[in-house]
Amino acid sequence: MRLLIMGPPGAGKGTQAKSIAEHFDIPAISTGDILRANVADGTPLGLEAQRIMAEGGYVGDDIMNGIVADRLAEDDCAKGFLLDGYPRTLPQVEAVDEILDRAGVELDAVLSLRVDVEELVSRLRKRAESEGRDDDSEQAIRVRQQKYLDETSPLLDVYRDRGLLVEVSGVGDVSEVTERIFQALDRVATAS
């Protein structure tokens, strides 16, 4: 299975990506995790990304496209993959299209996790208390939600028009949401 998981910040993409990847025996690739690992290691990319992430902005498309192209070229992605948090912009959609075209493969589905904004903000405030992530400050939470609405949510229409969008409610216990996702994606797997 070649999958994308999309949703606003705090929708539970990272939370659900791990279970989905295990279910389909594919690697989960989180661009947020890759960036955070670079920040932790103090790499040049990490130094550049740290400020952008803390403000709630998006790291540049060229950088993100290069990271994803390299990661998808690794052997473990031959059997499929789940991209978590990428693409977030139209140029990133075009880049992933190109990577897949070149490899002669296609996406099977794009999972959209839907959660209302009050619930998202409350989850991120809780995460700020438990994990202390720089980008979970009140100001960054607001910027990230707006950025998602302006730049990322229109991408759902692109994938809806291609007949790839699978929409699932991300509200409820984590295990309930996982079950809902498995049911929806298992239907896609059986049909393909």
Contact set with ligand B4P (CB under 6 A): 7, 9-15, 30-32, 35, 52-53, 57-59, 64, 85-86, 88, 92, 123, 127, 135, 144, 172, 174, 177
Of 36, 123, 144, 147, the catalytic one is: 144
Q: Amino acid letter at 98?
A: E
- State how far the alpha carbon of 140 is from the alpha carbons of 87, 98, 113, 122, 159, in Å: 20, 32, 21, 14, 27
Q: Annotated catalytic, 133?
A: yes
Of 2, 13, 36, 123, the catalytic one is: 13
Q: Annotated catalytic, 71?
A: no
Give 125's DSSP letter: H
Task: Point out the residue whose Cβ comes nearest to ligand B4P.
Answer: 32
Min. distance of Cβ 185 from ligand B4P in angstroms? 17
Strand partners, 110: 4, 165
Q: Quick one: 17 or 109, whose CB is closer to ligand B4P?
A: 17
Query: Residue holding tokens 């661009």?
Result: 31
Of 2, 88, 123, 147, the catalytic one is: 88
Q: Annotated catalytic, 88?
A: yes
Of 18, 71, 125, 133, the catalytic one is: 133
| Dihedral sign computed on CA atoms, order 136, 152, 35, 3 | positive
Summary count for the chain: helices (H), strands (E): 9, 5
Min. distance of Cβ 179 from ligand B4P in angstroms? 11
Whether the Cβ atoms of residue 55 and residue 143 lie closer than 8 Å to each other: yes
Q: Quick one: 85 or 104, whose CB is closer to ligand B4P?
A: 85
d(CA 188, CA 109): 7
Min. distance of Cβ 97 from ligand B4P in angstroms? 15
Min. distance of Cβ 180 from ligand B4P in angstroms? 10
| SS3 labels along 132-158 | CCHHHCHHHHHHHHHHHHHHHCHHHHH
Min. distance of Cβ 175 from ligand B4P in angstroms? 9
Cβ atoms within 10 Å of 112's Cβ, excluding its own: 21
Q: Quick one: 52 or 166, whose CB is closer to ligand B4P?
A: 52
Q: Annotated catalytic, 125?
A: no
Question: Which residues are designated catalytic?
Answer: 13, 88, 127, 133, 144
